[in-house]
Amino acid sequence: MTRLQSGLRGNLSLAPVLRYCAAPNPAAGNVVCSQAGMAVERMNGGAQFAAKYTKRFGHPIEFDAPFTYDAVYIVVDAMKRANSTDPAKVLAKASGTDYKGVTGETTFDAKGDLQHGVISLYDYKDGKKTLLDVVKM
Distance in angstroms (rounded) separating the CA atoms of residues 88 and 63: 29
Distance in angstroms (rounded) separating the CA atoms of residues 135 and 36: 10
The amino acid present at 94, given as its one-letter code, is A
| Sheet of strand 32-36, all strands in order from the earlier edge strand to the far edge | 32-36, 118-125, 128-136
Distance in angstroms (rounded) separating the CA atoms of residues 84 and 76: 10
Q: pLDDT tens, 84-124?
A: 999 999 988 988 899 999 998 999 888 878 888 899 998 87
Domain 38-115, second-level architecture: 3-Layer(aba) Sandwich (3.40)
Other CB atoms within a 10 A radius of the CB of residue 118 amount to 18
**Domain spans, the chain:** 13-37+117-137, 38-115
Task: Please check the confidence at residue 33 and state whether its pLDDT lies above 90.
Answer: no
Task: Please check the confidence at residue 4 and state whether its pLDDT lies above 60.
Answer: no
Residues 6+ apart with CB under 8 A from 84: 90
Q: pLDDT tens, 50-74?
A: 999 999 999 998 878 999 999 999 9
Give the model's pLDDT for residue 26. Answer: 60
Task: Please check the confidence at residue 35 and state whether its pLDDT lies above 80.
Answer: yes
Give the model's pLDDT for residue 6. Answer: 47
